[in-house]
Chains A and B, each alone.
Chain A
Amino acid sequence: AQSVAQPEDQVNVAEGNPLTVKCTYSVSGNPYLFWYVQYPNRGLQFLLKYITGDNLVKGSYGFEAEFNKSQTSFHLKKPSALVSDSALYFCAVRPRSGGSYIPTFGRGTSLIVHP
Chain B
Amino acid sequence: ETGVTQTPRHLVMGMTNKKSLKCEQHLGHNAMYWYKQSAKKPLELMFVYNFKEQTENNSVPSRFSPECPNSSHLFLHLHTLQPEDSALYLCASSQESIERDRGWETQYFGPGTRLLVL
Residue positions of A touching B, CB distance < 8 A: 4, 9, 32, 34, 36, 41-46, 49, 51, 90, 94-97, 100-108
Contacts and interface: CB of A to CB of B under 8 A. Distances in A.
Nearest to B94: A103
Given A43-B90, A44-B90, A105-B43, A49 B106 contact: yes
Given A41-B111, A102-B48, A102-B56, A51 B104 contact: yes
Interface residues of B, number: 25
A90 B43 contact: yes
Contacts of A43: 1, 4, 6, 90, 92, 109-112
Contact of A45 (B41, B104, B109): B109
A59 to B, nearest CB: 11
A101 B50 CA distance: 12
